[in-house]
Amino acid sequence: MKSRLELVVLAMIVTVAPVWAGPSPASKGSVEVTPFYGYRFGGDIGGVENAGDVEIAEGSSYGFMVDIEVQPGAFVEVRYSRQSSELKASNSVFGAGQVTVTDVDLDHFMLGGTYQPETTHPVHPFVSADVGAVHFSPQGFDGETRFAFGLGAGVKVPIADHFGLRLDGRWVATRLSGSTDLYCNSGGSCLVVSEGTYVNQYEFTTGLTFRF
């Protein structure tokens, strides 16, 4: 699974590299780097064998975004976000009621675009869309990397010429398949996802943007 994750990261780098190397003459060519901290919730997983309900517990997240302006107000965006959480199951092979099955890390690797319309107001709204992959890393079990896509919106608040505040809200949907084992213990009991299951997560973040 590690090799699959590395291929996703490599594909994102190859896609963005030409833009980074040389923006078009019509482009402002600015780069915005935004480290952020946030909160991620949702994470209900339906159609899991050997369990009534399974969910990824809500909790804090952190990461960074790099936005490269290719036209005035139009950006190519690379985004990474991590959440350290818990996988919880109800009425499953691991126990009656809701129990914590294992700790799990979720890494979002996304590539997309952001559009920021021109405005005379001090607060600049934007919308975004991206595709990529989510990597599930349960403790003591091989990880799974799955296709994901997302939509977002937010505002940018300039503080100085090269510094500002960014508030971001995002929905990310991850497609799981019948070959996805969420977790298996040493005794061979597994939580297996049915074909065509989606995990929807929502994330709100606050970040400091450095513009070059």
Q: What is the CA radius of gyration of the chain?
A: 19
Return the CATH number of 2-211, one of 2.40.160.20, 3.30.230.10, 3.20.20.70, 3.40.50.1220. Answer: 2.40.160.20
Retrieve residue 122's tokens: 């001090």
Contacts of 207 (CB under 8 A, 6+ apart): 34, 35, 36, 37, 64, 65, 165, 166, 168
Do residues 33 and 203 touch, judged by C-beta distance below 8 A?
A: no
Position 58 scores a pLDDT of: 97
Distance between terminal CA atoms of the chain? Answer: 36
In order along its 212 residues, the chain shows pLDDT tens digits of 444 444 444 444 444 444 434 443 333 569 999 999 999 999 999 888 888 889 999 999 999 999 999 999 999 999 999 999 999 999 888 888 899 999 999 999 999 999 999 988 889 999 999 999 999 998 877 788 999 999 999 999 999 989 999 999 999 999 987 667 778 877 778 888 877 789 999 999 999 999 99
Nearest to 209 by CA among 145, 159, 139: 159
DSSP states of 17-50: HHHHH---TTS---EEEEEEEEEEEE-EE-SEET
Identify the pLDDT of residue 74.
96
Q: Domain extents for the chain?
A: 2-211
pLDDT at 29: 62
